[in-house]
A and B are shown apart, each in its own frame.
Chain A
Amino acid sequence: MSYQRRACSQRSNANSIQPGSKGKNRTTMIYVIALAIAVIGLSYAAVPLYRVFCQASGFGGTTSRVIDPEKIAEMEAVPERPLTIRFNADTGATMRWNFRPKQKEIQLIPGETALAFYAAKNPTDEPIIGISTYNVIPFEAGLYFNKVQCFCFEEQRLNPHEEVDMPVFFYIDPEIMNDPALARIDTITLSYTFFESKDFDQSHLPTS
């Protein structure tokens, strides 16, 4: 008898607790699931959003990808800031081309487009495909080093004993005048490295 009463009272207690807490539990669960979905969605969205932010603000050395065709036509040369551009050429360990700059250095001023040449020769008896990447020193100057056209990032094939001239057409952005970190820089080095295409590490390519 007492057992039954206890069971009844227990059941009624249980009944009185359940509807309220069940509702609360469900609401909480919905909130948590929604939050989880929001966080996961945000972390996926962060990748392109961050990229847009970087390109807009130049954060972390990313250069602007907005290619304004008018920019070159409108930019003003800065004669009071003569710069020396040095040219360096390297080859990957297994690359058999002879690769060298045709000029050690060039004197120029920001805002003026300049032409420079490299020469590459394939001294072997078989065709070799090369691909190049480049580096600018000091790193901070890379922000202002704009290549209009060059021979980099695409595969280039040289037949046996073939030699070619490889031009680089570039300019230093006049904005360099507004960068205090580069105020005392008067020499910028452009360094190209050629790899044999099969050995090329894709991480050298620009992220687009």
Chain B
Amino acid sequence: MNYSSRRFSPTPPDKGSFPLDHDGECKTFMKTYMQCLEKSNYEQSDCRKEAKEYLQCRMDRQLMAKEDFKNLGFKDETKNQT
């Protein structure tokens, strides 16, 4: 029995659930991102561009609500997607 008073409570995601990419429309972007991660020893800050491109792909195909990248933590380029 865990006597710790602090119990983990899962919380819902801020922007809800990603719809599944059933048709693999953004698979190539995912692959590019994963390759980048492998090359940079899984240092995610080296692969911001690829991550952004993946999310952009999702937005373009209605697999993600369009959002200003500034609000998604991508500060370098503030492309307005609305």
Mask, A139-158, CB within 8 Å of B = 1, is: 11010001111111110111
Q: Does B81 make an interface contact (CB < 8 A)?
A: no
What residues on A are CB-neighbors of B30 within 8 Å? 117, 165, 167
Taking a contact as CB atoms under 8 Å apart, the answer to whether A206 and B44 are in contact is: no
Taking a contact as CB atoms under 8 Å apart, the answer to whether B13 and A149 are in contact is: yes
Number of interface residues of A (CB under 8 A): 56
- Count of A-B contacts judged by CB separation below 8 Å: 136
> Which of the residues A135, A162, A171 comes within 8 Å of B10, measured between beta carbons?
A135
Q: Does A73 make an interface contact (CB < 8 A)?
A: yes
Q: Does B18 make an interface contact (CB < 8 A)?
A: yes
Q: Is the interface of A mostly helix, strand, loop or mixed?
A: mixed
> B31: nearest residue on chain A (CB-CB)?
A165
Taking a contact as CB atoms under 8 Å apart, the answer to whether A206 and B11 are in contact is: yes
Taking a contact as CB atoms under 8 Å apart, the answer to whether B43 and A149 are in contact is: no
Taking a contact as CB atoms under 8 Å apart, the answer to whether A113 and B22 are in contact is: no
Q: Please, how many angstroms separate the alpha-carbon atoms of A100 and B45 in the complex?
A: 23
Taking a contact as CB atoms under 8 Å apart, the answer to whether B18 and A142 are in contact is: no
Can you name 12 A-B pairs with beta carbons within 8 Å?
A69-B71, A72-B73, A104-B42, A107-B45, A117-B30, A142-B8, A149-B18, A152-B12, A154-B16, A164-B22, A167-B18, A206-B9
Number of interface residues of B (CB under 8 A): 41
Q: Does A136 make an interface contact (CB < 8 A)?
A: yes
> Which of the residues B4, B17, B24 comes within 8 Å of A152, measured between beta carbons?
B17
Identify which of A18-26, A36-44, A58-66 touches chain B: A58-66
Residues of A within 8 A of B (CB): 60-63, 65, 67, 69-70, 72-73, 75, 102-109, 112-115, 117, 133-136, 139-140, 142, 146-154, 156-159, 162, 164-167, 169, 171, 204-208
Q: Please, how many angstroms separate the alpha-carbon atoms of A136 and B17 in the complex?
A: 18
What residues on A are CB-neighbors of B13 within 8 Å? 147-150, 152-153
Q: Please, how many angstroms separate the alpha-carbon atoms of A43 and B37 in the complex?
A: 53
Taking a contact as CB atoms under 8 Å apart, the answer to whether B11 and A106 are in contact is: no
What residues on B are CB-neighbors of A102 within 8 Å? 34
Known A-B contacts A147-B14, A167-B54; the reply to A108 vs B45 at CB < 8 A is yes
Q: Please, how many angstroms separate the alpha-carbon atoms of A152 and B15 in the complex?
A: 11
Taking a contact as CB atoms under 8 Å apart, the answer to whether A135 and B8 are in contact is: yes
